[in-house]
Amino acid sequence: MKPSPRQNLTHQLTYDLGIAIVEGTYPVGGGLPSEADLCVQYNVSRSSTREAVKMLSAKGLISSRPKQGIRVLPENSWNMFDTDVLTWILSSKPSLALLKEFTQVRLAIEPQAAALAAMNATYEQLEDIEKALSRMVEADQGLDDPLDADIAFHTSILVASGNRFFVQLTEFIGTALRVSIRYTNKIKGVPGADVKKHADILNTIKSRNPDRARDAVTAILDEALELIDSQL
Residue 4 reports pLDDT greater than 60: no
Q: Which helix (H) or strand (E) holds 49?
A: helix 46-58
pLDDT digits (tens, 9 = 90+) for 167-179: 999 999 999 888 8
Domain parsing of the chain, residue ranges = 5-77, 94-231
pLDDT band at 1 (very low <50, low <70, confident <90, very high): very low
Average pLDDT over residues 201-213: 98
- Residues 6 or more apart from 116 whose CB is under 8 A from it? 160, 161, 162, 163, 166, 210
Condensed to tens digits (0 to 9), the pLDDT of residues 137-175 reads: 999 888 999 899 999 999 999 999 999 999 999 999 999
- The values of phi and psi at residue 29, to 5°, are 90, -15
Share of the chain above pLDDT 90, in %: 74
Q: How confident is the model at residue 2 (pLDDT cuts 50, 70, 90)?
A: very low
Asked if CATH classification 1.10.3260.10 holds for the domain at 5-77, the reply, yes or no, is no
- Three-state SS letters, 69-132: EEEECCHHHCCCCCHHHHHHHHHHCCCHHHHHHHHHHHHHHHHHHHHHHHHHCCHHHHHHHHHH
Does 102 score more than 80 pLDDT?
Answer: yes
DSSP class of 65: E
Q: What is the chain's mean pLDDT, rounded?
A: 91
* CB contact at 8 A, 118 and 213: yes
Q: What secondary structure letter does DSSP report for 63?
A: E
Q: Which CATH number fits domain 94-231: 3.40.1110.10, 1.10.540.10, 3.40.50.850, 1.20.120.530?
A: 1.20.120.530
Cα angle: 179, vertex 180, 183; to 5 degrees = 85
Same fold, 5-77 and 94-231: no
With contact defined as beta carbons under 8 Å apart, do 111 and 204 qualify?
Answer: no
Beta bridge partners, 65, equal: 69
